[in-house]
Amino acid sequence: MTDVIDQPRIDPRLLQRWVEVRRAEGRKRLRALVVLAVVLASGAMALGALYTPVLKVRHVRVSVSGAVSGPQVEALAGLDHYKLMIDVHAATIVKDLDAVPRLGGARVDREWPGTVAIRISVRTPLAIVARSAGGWGTVDATGRVIGDVAAPVVGLPVLLGTGTAPAVGSWIGGSLGPSVIPGTVPETALDMDAASDSATIPKGAAAALALLQALPANVFADVISVTVSASGGLSMAVLPASVASGSIAVDFGDGSQLAQKAAALSTLVTQADLSGVASIDLTVPDRPATLTAR
């Protein structure tokens, strides 16, 4: 005969409490699942909306500083054909635009729901640099080679002493390089007022190009060449319209006080009688010295 073991009886109140706790936990889990489902559904709907034609690129607003048209920039950015806003990657477009040798300083912003704004500058040739295999490369103020020419270009001085021109799209050695936005005034890129004992004296190609950029257009037009010597000195050959023949050699010394030296040269070229002058010493810009030809 099997023995029957009496089971302890559970207090009905404890049993009721246990049931209530389990039901509360179940309701909490259900609410959490409902909230998660709503979030996932909303996210899926939002993501789906981003990939519908409703949010396509409808307007491309281009602001160009220089002689390149808005449609050209739009095409280079890959926005001249159907594209969704979600597929517009600003960093990629900036990289693509800045890779074009004659462009730089690109900025791209998405303006929802359907506009892309592009701001960009066109690089302006400032000088020419000889190529080792013949021909010349045109460079802008940052030192980027922006094109090739077969012969010297009227109105562009020759940059000497900085090596030969690298491939189009590259920067010549010693220049400001890609960190500087094209069109930036020299004062914002270099210390144009650096004293002779300063550690921030502009040097090399950067100093030579900054000096050219600091000259007024009418004086710049008279510059034949600018040279960086092995010791870092700067000099120019200028041919003012008032001089009948023969260029004038201008010695600037090092790259200190470039702004003052550019201003001194401008004053001499535009206001002084340079007939018979063979050279000008501007190493001390507030005390210029001239040497007449024998």
Q: Are both 140 and 278 inside the same structural domain?
A: yes
Q: What pLDDT is attached to residue 31? A: 78
290, containing H or E segment: strand 289-292
List of the chain residues with pLDDT < 70: 1-11, 14-15, 18-19, 21, 34, 37-54, 244, 294
Q: Of 122, 137, 167, which marks where a domain is finished?
A: 122
**pTM (2 decimals)?**
0.79
Q: Are both 112 and 134 inside the same structural domain?
A: no
Residue 213 lies in a domain: yes
Beta strands in 13-168, from DSSP E residues, in sequence order? 59-65, 103-111, 115-122, 127-130, 136-139, 145-149, 158-160
Collapsing DSSP to helix, strand or coil, 120 comes out as: strand
Q: Are both 131 and 262 inside the same structural domain?
A: yes
Q: Of 67, 89, 122, which marks where a domain is finished?
A: 122
Residue 35 lies in a domain: no
What is the rounded distance in angstroms from the CA atom of residue 142 to the CA atom of residue 125? 10
Q: Of 122, 148, 179, which marks where a domain is finished?
A: 122
Total structural domains within the chain: 2
What is the rounded distance in angstroms from the CA atom of residue 175 to the CA atom of residue 180? 10
Residue 36 lies in a domain: no
Q: Are both 273 and 177 inside the same structural domain?
A: yes
Give the model confidence (pLDDT) of 73-117 as tens digits. 999 999 988 788 888 999 999 999 999 999 999 999 999 889 999
Residue 171 lies in a domain: yes
Q: Are both 282 and 195 inside the same structural domain?
A: yes
Q: Are both 181 and 92 inside the same structural domain?
A: no
Q: What pLDDT is attached to residue 237? A: 96
Q: Are both 287 and 193 inside the same structural domain?
A: yes
Residue 68: CATH number of its domain = 3.10.20.310
Q: Are both 146 and 228 inside the same structural domain?
A: yes
Residue 230 lies in a domain: yes
Q: Are 85 and 55 in contact (CB under 8 A)?
A: yes
Q: What pLDDT is attached to residue 246? A: 80
Residue 88 lies in a domain: yes
Q: Are both 73 and 112 inside the same structural domain?
A: yes
Q: Are both 204 and 235 inside the same structural domain?
A: yes
Residue 47 lies in a domain: no
Q: Which of 258, 293, 264 is nearest to 281 (CA)?
A: 264
Query: Chain centroid to CA 64: how far?
Result: 14
What is the rounded distance in angstroms from the CA atom of residue 280 to the CA atom of residue 266? 12
Q: Are both 146 and 207 inside the same structural domain?
A: yes
Q: Are both 83 and 194 inside the same structural domain?
A: no
Q: What pLDDT is attached to residue 51? A: 53
Residue 25 lies in a domain: no
Dihedral angle over CA of 269, 273, 275, 280, nearest 10: -50
Domain that holds residue 72: 55-122
Amino acid at 5: I
